[in-house]
Amino acid sequence: MKNSSTVFAGRHVLVAGAGVTGRSAVPVLLGLGARVTVADGNAARLAEFDGTGAETAVGLTEPPVDVDLVVTSPGWRPTSPLLVAAAEAGIEVIGDVELAWRLGQRREQPPVWLAVTGTNGKTTTVGMLESILRAAGLNAVACGNVGFAVLDAVNAGYDVLAVELSSFQLHWSNSLAPHAAVVLNVAEDHLDWHGSIEAYAADKGKIQAHSRIAVFNADDSWSVRLAGGHPRAVGFRLDTPRPGQLGLVEDLLVDRAFVADPAHAEELCTVADIRPAGPHNLANALAAAALARAYGVGTEAVAKGLREFQPGAHRAVEVGEIGGVRYIDDSKATNPHAAAGSLLAHPDVVWIAGGLLKGAHVDELVTAVADRLRGAVLLGTDSGVIAAALARHAPNVPVRRVPAGDDEPMNAAVEAARVLARPGDVVLLAPAAASMDQFRDYAHRGDTFAEAVRGLRDGADDRG
C-alpha cells in the first residue's frame, strides 16, 4: 500500500458509533497513526475499546475542537446532534465505506469494486457475484452490508470486491467510483430515516455517480431513472434483451451487452440453474452476471458460479414438507416489495405476514398476489393494516390473525396456516415487515418458523 499513514498520522479522527463500524475503523485508523476518539451513547459498547489506544466519549453532542474528520456509523441519521454540529463546524463527515475506498486507492494495485444496492435482492446478488468471481479464479470476496466490513476486506488485500451497500452507507459516501455498479430496484423502505422515497432513491443512485459502468434493471422505473444519462449504461430484463442488455430467451439467461456482436446473444446458463427460484432471483442473477461480465469474466465462469451459488439462510429456504404442503422461510422479505417477489414465485400460497411496516403501503402488494392466495395468517403490530388491505383487494381470501397477547405467535401462525393449506400449496413466511416487535431480528423470526414447522412434522409422525 502507498503510504496512507502520511494522510492520517497525527490527525484527530472522531468515530461516531461503537458498533460494527467502530470495531472495523478504529484499529485501522490507530494503525495509520491517527488519534482516535470513539463516541457512542452506550457506555458498555465503548468499554470494548479500553486498552486499544482510542479515547472514548459517552453521549457526545459536539466534536472535540481539534477533530478534522468524522467517520460515522451508517445507522446514525444526518440529524444526529453530533453530526449536525460537525457539519456546522465545517468538519468532513464520511462513512466507513468512503474511508475504505480512499484507503484502497492508495494501494499499489487498488482493489476493483463491483457494487450492488437496491431495496431488495442485494445480499443474494452479491453472493451470486462472489460465486461467479471465484469460479473465474479471482481473489474475490463479498463484503459491505453482508457482515464482512468492506474496510476489513480492503485491508485483507482482496483483488476484487463484491460490495453490498445500503442507502445509509451510500449517504455518507462521496468519491466512491466502482468499476461497475447496479441499483437493483427501489421501493418504499427506510422512509423514516431518509424522509421521502425521492431522498432514499437519490442516496441509492450515488453508487453510480462515478462508476465506469452503470447496470440497471430495465423492469424497474427507479433503476432506469437513476442510470439515465450515464455514459455507459447496461440494462437487464426478464424478457428478450435488446442489444446492449442481458435478459431471458425462453429458458436461457443470455448476454447481448458484453459480446463482440450485440446482434447475437451469448448463453450464460439456464433458468433451472438459478436458486432460489422465482422471477426476482432471475433478476438478481442477471444483475450479478452483468457486473461480472463488466469486469471481463467469461460465460463459463458465470454459469459455473450461478450453479454453485448457495442461498443464504432465511431467503426462500424450504424447511419442510408435510402432507403435501411445502413450508418456506423467506423471513428476509422485510418489506412489501420483497414479499411480492417471494409470493409471485408460487402459484398457491398460504401467506404468513406481519410485523412493523415502518410506514410502507401494502395495497399494491395485495393486489398483485391476490389470485394466488389460499389464505393469510397475520401477526405483529401492523397485522391490522395488512388485514384491511386484504379485505379491500382480496375479500374472498380467508384471513386468520394471531392475537397480540399470544406467547408463541409463530407456533400459532404455523398451526393456523396448516389448517388453511391443501396438498400442493406452499405455506410461505414472507412477512413484508420488520421483525423487532416480536422477534430479535429477521433471523430469529425465521428460526422460530422452522422450529414450528418441525413441531408440526413431529406431531404428524406421532399421529402416523
DSSP per-residue string spanning 162-223: EEE--HHHHHT-SS---SEEEE----S--HHHHSSHHHHHHHHHGGGSS-SEEEEETT-HHH
To the question of whether residue 229 is assigned a binding role by annotation, the answer is no
Angle between helices 409-420 and 442-463 (to 10 degrees): 50
In angstroms, the CA 460 to CA 71 distance is: 54
| Residue 5: band (very low, low, confident or very high) from pLDDT cuts 50, 70, 90 | low
| Residue 313: band (very low, low, confident or very high) from pLDDT cuts 50, 70, 90 | confident
138, pLDDT greater than 60: yes
Q: In the block, which residue shows the cell 427506510?
A: 190
Q: 315 and 330 in contact (C-beta within 8 Å)?
A: yes
Handedness of CA 202, 206, 209, 214 (dihedral sign): negative
| Residue 145: band (very low, low, confident or very high) from pLDDT cuts 50, 70, 90 | confident
Q: All 3 cell numbers of residue 188?
A: 418504499
For the segment 356-405, what is each residue's pLDDT rounded down to a tens digit? 998 889 999 999 999 999 999 999 999 999 999 999 999 999 999 999 77
Query: Amino acid letter at 117?
Result: T
In angstroms, the CA 95 to CA 101 distance is: 10
To the question of whether residue 121 is assigned a binding role by annotation, the answer is yes
Model confidence, pTM: 0.79
Average pLDDT over residues 149-166: 95
In angstroms, the CA 346 to CA 390 distance is: 18
To the question of whether residue 335 is assigned a binding role by annotation, the answer is no
In angstroms, the Cα distances linking 135 to 156, 294, 325 are: 20, 16, 36
Mean pLDDT, the chain, as a whole number? Answer: 93
To the question of whether residue 228 is assigned a binding role by annotation, the answer is no
Average pLDDT over residues 190-197: 69
In angstroms, the CA 183 to CA 391 distance is: 34
For the segment 18-38, what is each residue's pLDDT rounded down to a tens digit? 998 899 999 999 999 999 999
Minimum mean pLDDT range among 220-224, 398-402, 406-410: 406-410
462, pLDDT greater than 60: no
The whole-number pLDDT of residue 192 equals 66
Phi, psi (degrees; rounded to nearest 5) at 104: -60, -35
DSSP assigned state of 356: B
Q: All 3 cell numbers of residue 460?
A: 404428524
| Residue 2: band (very low, low, confident or very high) from pLDDT cuts 50, 70, 90 | low
To the question of whether residue 304 is assigned a binding role by annotation, the answer is no
What is the distance, to the nearest Å, from the Cα of residue 370 to the centroid of all Cα atoms in its chain? 26
To the question of whether residue 118 is assigned a binding role by annotation, the answer is yes
Handedness of CA 44, 48, 52, 54 (dihedral sign): negative
In angstroms, the CA 277 to CA 201 distance is: 27
Domains within the chain, CATH numbers bracketed: 11-91 (3.40.50.720), 99-308 (3.40.1190.10), 317-459 (3.90.190.20)
| Residue 243: band (very low, low, confident or very high) from pLDDT cuts 50, 70, 90 | very high
* SS3 call for 363: helix
To the question of whether residue 21 is assigned a binding role by annotation, the answer is no
| Residue 193: band (very low, low, confident or very high) from pLDDT cuts 50, 70, 90 | low
In angstroms, the CA 71 to CA 14 distance is: 6
158, pLDDT greater than 70: yes
